[in-house]
Every structure is written in structure tokens, then in C-alpha cells.
Structure 1
Amino acid sequence: MLGCVIHGAGDLRVDDLPSPEPGPGEALVAVRYGGVCGSDLHYWRHGGVGDFRLTEPMVLGHEVVGTVTGYGPGTEGPAPGTPVAVHPATPCDTCPECRAGRRSVCRDTRYLGSAARTPHVQGGFAAELVVPAAQLRALPEGLPLDRAALAEPLSVALHAVRRAGDVAGRHVLVTGAGPIGCLVVAAAKAAGAARVTVTDLLPKALSYAAVAGADTLVRADDPADPGWPDEADAPDVAIEASGVAAGLDTCLHRVRRGAVVVQLGMLPPGQSPFAGNLVVSRELELRGAFRFDTEFDDAIALLAREPALAGLVSAVVPVAGAARAFALAADRSAACKVLLDFGS
């Protein structure tokens, strides 16, 4: 079977991989679509994401959907032929964080396509995938697989919004209109936000934020843009989704006093400067958001209710053209979410 394997920075290959066999407690899934994530792009371009570095070849991908084809001995789940989304995380359920209900920061989790541990956890960009059967989620009737491929990044967005607290009736600022930032817009609107302002450097990216439901679009490189909120209309909440220090700086400077700022984008490795004195003098709350847990089920339900979110899928590329798909996904002036197609 074909799989998309990263061997090092700049070394992305479509390799011929052995077909897997499910064991007890496991399911076999025929993967149809896999969404190219920002972390996949970081592994491709830089050989790592954040502080997680490649030390061996790894199948990429954690945003995968497909069809159940079978199970290991004594294992049950959705019937073969059922369209499913795959929850990419396997928390340990025994560490202090898991026991406290914080499974998204489990200290011993396994996450598809992640170099956070060695041996790395192989990902889902392959024609067939074996995962614990408990990680399968049958799709609601009428939710197509290509739209369902947004479930994982939408889960990340939902978790970030929940980390911000109650946003109902509030003004939310989102910095960065990449796929995650756009889905944060959708998550905030679904949670009742009265207004969502989005900043980005690129008009094309901002156009996708509008598809997701943004109320105000702002060019981040234009201090005279009329969309910038004034002090009287300062955001109550900011979610930083660009993964650059300048985005965090914008959040800290633009929110009202006493606001909550959530850092969602993964910043570059090492130390990043930020306006720490503003956190003190304005009593801002700076919170992190990492992955997700039960939000996966909520994301699937939201995708079933909101067909317009399919407009965030820019292109679907056969896996044999993975290099082209990654280049397109990296070009934010041309694309939002790019899917790899593992279908025949």
C-alpha cells in the first residue's frame, strides 16, 4: 500500500508500505482522506514541530477518515463498511493529568504521526491504518468523508475556545487565518460569540475566515486598517492561532484589561519574546491550548450541522502527488485545507 513518509527535513516520500493486520482490540480502516496539517508541514520543511524532532522515518498524518474494513480477534465496533473518523490520540488514562480529566496533556499519550516520543508514533497517511477500535467514530448520515476530514482540526479549535471560557455574547479576536484559525472562528461562533475579528497578512487567508463566519477581517500588516477594534470595543478574548510571536504580541496589546488570551499556535522552538509586563499591568490571563479530548465528538456533530465549512477544503490531491499537495498546503496565498486522497 502507499504511504506518505517523512525521512527528514525536505525529504518527503510516497513509499510502498506493508499492509497492517489488526490485533485484539484493534480495527482496520481503509483510509480515504487525510488532511495536511501545519505540523505535517513543519516536519516536512524543518524536520520537527515545536520541540519535537524527527529521529527516524515516520508516516505523517493525524487528520484521517475512511471506512471500517475489519477487526482483530474478539473486537467489536462500527460494522465493516461504516464511514468513520479516527480520533488520533491514545491517552494512558493512568497519569495524574488523565485522572484529573486533562487527557489532552497526558504525559504518556500516543498521537498519530507524532515525533513527541521515540519510537515515533506512525501516522495515518497510508491506504490502510490499524488503530484501537475505541478511537473510531461512526459518521452521522449525510456527513461526507471529505467534510468529516476537518474533524481533527475543528476539535483543536473547539478545545481552544473552551480554554478561553464562556465566549457567549463576547468579542473574540483570532490572530492567524490558517485552517486552524478559520476553524476557531467557526468554533467561537458556535459557542455564541457575538463578534469575531480575524487578523492575517494575506487577503486569501482572510477570505477563508469569512467563509468560516468571521465578522471583521483585518490586515495584520496595516495599522490603519479600519477593522482594528478601538479601546471601547476591545476584544474580551483573544486566541492566537498563527504560531508566531508577533501574533501573541497583537493579542496582548489589543484585548481589553482583564481579558483572556489563549496561545494555540505552536511557537518556534526555544524561547519566544512576549509583552509580559502587559500580562501584569492589565491583569491578563494567558492560557495554553494543546490538542483536544472529547471535543472530537462535538466537532463531528458541528460539521454535520454546518455544510458551509466544506468551503475550507481548497483541494483534494491523490497521494501519489503528495509533494504537490504539501507545496500547495504551504502556500497560504493559494489554499486553506488540502486533503490527500487514498482512494483507488
Structure 2
Amino acid sequence: MRGYLRGVRALTVDPKQPDSLRVSELPDPQPAAGDLLVEGLAVGVCGTDKEIVRAEYGWSPPDRQRLVLGHESLGRVRTAPPGSGFSPGDLVVGVVRRPDPVPCGACAHGEFDMCRNGRYTERGIKQRDGYGSQLWCVEIDYAVTLDPRLAHVGVLVEPTTVVVKAWEQVWRVGERGWFEPRRALVTGAGPIGLLAALVGLRRGLDVHVLDRVTSGPKPALVQALGATYHHDSVDSVAERVRPDVVVEATGAASVVFDAIASTPPYGIVCLTGVSPAGRTLSVDAGGINRGLVLENDVVIGSVNANLRHYRQAAQVLAESDVDWLGGLISRRVPLDRFADAFTAQPDDVKVVITLDGSG
């Protein structure tokens, strides 16, 4: 946190101490040359945030014990450098990752989401304060302007970047040969799964979404999107659908391996969900290897996003049904009641913490 004067409220945590989340008062951020000063509107809560709160992941800035949480950002510009292309009142989001200081070859070419040496930093996650503050600064090179009609749903940009990148990677892999996919299966109907379905439909695919729940908002959201909802086992759904592409968004180990085994020849499985470590599962490793080799199948992992993906995500959301996007946000929790946002409710899809006093 660079130079502070008065005081703003921010959601902070000690990543080394479980259940240390609290609202702290911090001095006002002072933008450096080339920075935007942004009024925080909201931050989304995801699994990574919950891991940080449980002290399972995350790193505070090198000079401090506590980290300002929040990487799914939404804010409104208060001040902008002259000639920056930004203006006061602009709706913006901040990019999460910053390239490593060396940099590696990928970071040097703007592909910092594919960092090769792990020395990247991340807002709200790894060694950089996040966006969970009533005021925050961001470099103009790491901010993206949003369509004003996204004022209530723009916090979905960051998770959308994850799936935009995932689909980009799927296409790049598929085009190693003739590639004309028709059907896609998305496992998991959380925010990532639903947004993956949205992008898959935009690519012209027949999209099927699999989740275990049979009631609540998820089946209705899938249906309203124009996709097909399933709650059977992965193998039974895959046998009927025969997906050319599977986007795995649960991180459940059994679902991951069922997904890998479910594609027809020349199938692609993209893993976006992170499985918890330390849990064992018996699998037929030889059979999986045999299937991958003999069917020219591919399994890829995808995480994070670069500036290109943020711009693409902003465009995807701007061209989407705002009412449908609003349906993904199941609860908006004021900053004062932040603990409620970390307590799961049965019908939760995406929970958002509001920073501007709204509920």
C-alpha cells in the first residue's frame, strides 16, 4: 500500500492465521504516476478467497502481515492521469496478476498468466493487496473499462476471464488438426461452469451442463441460457451427449477422471477447477494412458488470465443478457456483514461483498 493519508475501510486477512478476516481502517491510497484512483463498488467471493481465509493459501505483501483481500473487482474511477484514456466515472475492473520482475519469456510477451518461473504476484492473493477496499489504486495498463450497463454485474468479469482463456486454449489445442466441435459438456454449475456454458454457446456449440443439484437457481439458469441441464453421473451423460469438449469446473477428483474418460476420440478436456490436495482416489492409470494415446485425446489445465482475456471478457458480458448475468449473483452482502459472505447458503451461486454502502 503506497502512501496513505486519511482512512478507508478494507477487508484484510493474515494468510498465515486461520479465521483472521476483519474490516480494517487504512489510510487513503495515494495514486502514483500512471495510476487510477478507484472507488470500490464490490468484490466477488470465490474458493480462492475462502482458502486464504482458512490459511491454506495466499501471501501478504513482503513488508506486512496482513493482506487486503479481493481479486474479483469492480469500481468507478475517481481520478485518472491526463491522456490515459480513462475518465472519472468510468466503470472499471483491475487485472489480478502482474508479471514477474525477471521476467520469464511468457511474461515478457504479455502472457503473464502462463508465467514459467512462478515469480508473478497477484492482487488479493500473492504479495499484492487486493481490491476489497473502499478506495484502491491500479496502474492504467492493468485496468479495463466496462460498459456502463454492467454496473450491477461487472464483478463477474474476472471469473469470465478464466473461461474465456479456457476456451481459447481449447481452440488452440483443437486446431492442431481438423477441428469442428459440435457438443460441449461443462461439469459444475457454479459461476465458472455457468460462464463457461455462456461462452461455449457463443462459440456455436450445443452445450450441456452437469451438476448434482436438482432444484434451486442452477437448473433454471442453464435452461434460460439455452443449454441443457443434467444431474446424472458424468459417464452416463457423456455416453448420451458424446461431447467433443469437456470443461471441468468442479475440481472434484472423481468427476475429473470421469471427465477425462468421457470424450470420444480427439476429445479435449480443460480443467479449470482446483482439486484439494491430500485426498486419494484409485484410478486405472494404464487405461487412462491407453485411451489418451490411442484416441489422440488431450487434457489441459487453465488458470488465471492476461489483459487480452480481460478485454474479451468485458466484451462478452457487454453483449450478454444483463438480467441473466444478474441471476448468477445470489447474494449481495454489505462490507460490515462480510462474515455472511463466507458462510455458504444452499442456493448460492456467486456471493458479492458491496463496498459502497449498498446491500
Give the aligned partner of residue 186 of structure 1.
Answer: 198
Give the aligned partner of residue 291 of structure 2.
Answer: 282
Deviations 1:220-274 (CA, angstroms, capped at 9, x unpaired) = 5x589xx72326x421111111122122022022222331111111122368655
Report the 3-state secondary structure (helix = DSSP H, G, I; strand = E; otherwise coil) of the residue aligned with 2:152: helix
User: Pairwise mapping of residues 1-344 of structure 1 onto structure 2 (< 5 A)?
Assistant: 1-7=8-14, 8-44=17-53, 46-49=54-57, 52=58, 56-71=65-80, 76-92=84-100, 94-99=103-108, 102-106=111-115, 107-115=118-126, 120-141=127-148, 143-165=149-171, 169-201=181-213, 203-204=215-216, 206-207=218-219, 209-210=221-222, 213=225, 215-220=227-232, 228-230=237-239, 233-269=241-277, 273=281, 275-283=284-292, 284-293=297-306, 294-306=308-320, 307=322, 308-327=324-343, 330-331=344-345, 333-344=346-357
Cα distance in 1, alignment partners of residues 39 and 154 from structure 2: 15
The one-letter code of the counterpart of 1:161 is: W
The one-letter code of the counterpart of 1:102 is: E
Report the 3-state secondary structure (helix = DSSP H, G, I; strand = E; otherwise coil) of the residue aligned with 2:194: helix
Q: CA deviation at 1:31?
A: 0.6
Q: 1:276 to 1:19 in 2, by over 3 A?
A: farther
The one-letter code of the counterpart of 2:164 is: L
Cα distance in 1, alignment partners of residues 43 and 299 from structure 2: 32
Report the 3-state secondary structure (helix = DSSP H, G, I; strand = E; otherwise coil) of the residue aligned with 2:39: strand
Cα distance in 2, alignment partners of residues 191 and 168 from structure 1: 11
1:33–1:146 Cα contact (<8 Å) kept: no
RMSD after superposition: 2.7
> Structure 1 stretch 167-176 or stretch 62-71: which is displaced more?
167-176
2:234–2:262 Cα contact (<8 Å) kept: no
The one-letter code of the counterpart of 2:273 is: G
Report the 3-state secondary structure (helix = DSSP H, G, I; strand = E; otherwise coil) of the residue aligned with 2:125: coil
Cα distance in 2, alignment partners of residues 126 and 290 from structure 1: 25
Cα distance in 1, alignment partners of residues 280 and 298 from structure 2: 18
Report the 3-state secondary structure (helix = DSSP H, G, I; strand = E; otherwise coil) of the residue aligned with 1:299: helix
Cα distance in 2, alignment partners of residues 42 and 208 from structure 1: 29
2:71–2:96 Cα contact (<8 Å) kept: yes
Cα distance in 2, alignment partners of residues 205 and 247 from structure 1: 22
Give the aligned partner of residue 3 of structure 2.
Answer: none
Q: 1:264 to 1:214 in 2, by over 3 A?
A: farther
The one-letter code of the counterpart of 1:35 is: G
Cα distance in 1, alignment partners of residues 93 and 319 from structure 2: 16
Q: 1:181 to 1:259 in 2, by over 3 A?
A: same
* Count of aligned residue pairs for this structure pair: 328
The one-letter code of the counterpart of 2:337 is: G
1:47–1:53 Cα contact (<8 Å) kept: no
Q: 1:176 to 1:272 in 2, by over 3 A?
A: farther
Q: CA deviation at 1:202?
A: 5.9
The one-letter code of the counterpart of 1:251 is: A
Q: CA deviation at 1:205?
A: 6.2
Unaligned runs of 5+ in 1: none
The one-letter code of the counterpart of 1:303 is: L
